[in-house]
Copies of this chain bind each other. A is one copy, B any other.
Amino acid sequence: MKAYVHVYLKRAVLDPQGKAIAHALHELGYKDVKAARQGKMIELDIADGLNKEQAEESIRKMCEDLLANTVIEDYSITLEAA
């Protein structure tokens, strides 16, 4: 089973990387971009023994333990059958 974990800075947290992207796009002439934010996308390949609920619960723990810094970041989990 594939799982996608999107880890992104909380709205209230300044995102200099996103600002740099928006600035660079403006310099290149893409004036329609009002703002940009950059996050991480982690793709996990999960063993097939787990059902969706177990997998999601396990991934949530992984996020809390390792994948996200929950002081400044939020995350969302998307599961996809293999």
How would residues 48 to 66 of chain A score, 1 for a CB under 8 Å from any chain B CB and 0 otherwise? 0110000100100110011
Is B33 a contact partner of A37 (Cβ separation < 8 A)? Answer: no
In the complex, whether A28 has a CB less than 8 A from a CB of chain B is yes
Binding site for B on A (CB under 8 A): 6, 8, 18, 21, 24-25, 28, 30-47, 49-50, 55, 58, 61-62, 65-67
Please name 27 pairs of A and B residues whose Cβ atoms are closer than 8 Å in the assembled complex, sorted by A. A6-B41, A8-B41, A8-B43, A18-B42, A21-B42, A21-B66, A24-B66, A25-B66, A28-B66, A30-B61, A32-B47, A32-B50, A32-B55, A33-B44, A33-B45, A33-B47, A34-B46, A35-B44, A35-B45, A36-B45, A38-B40, A38-B43, A39-B41, A39-B42, A39-B43, A40-B40, A41-B41
Q: Which residues of B contact A34 (CB under 8 A)?
A: 45-47
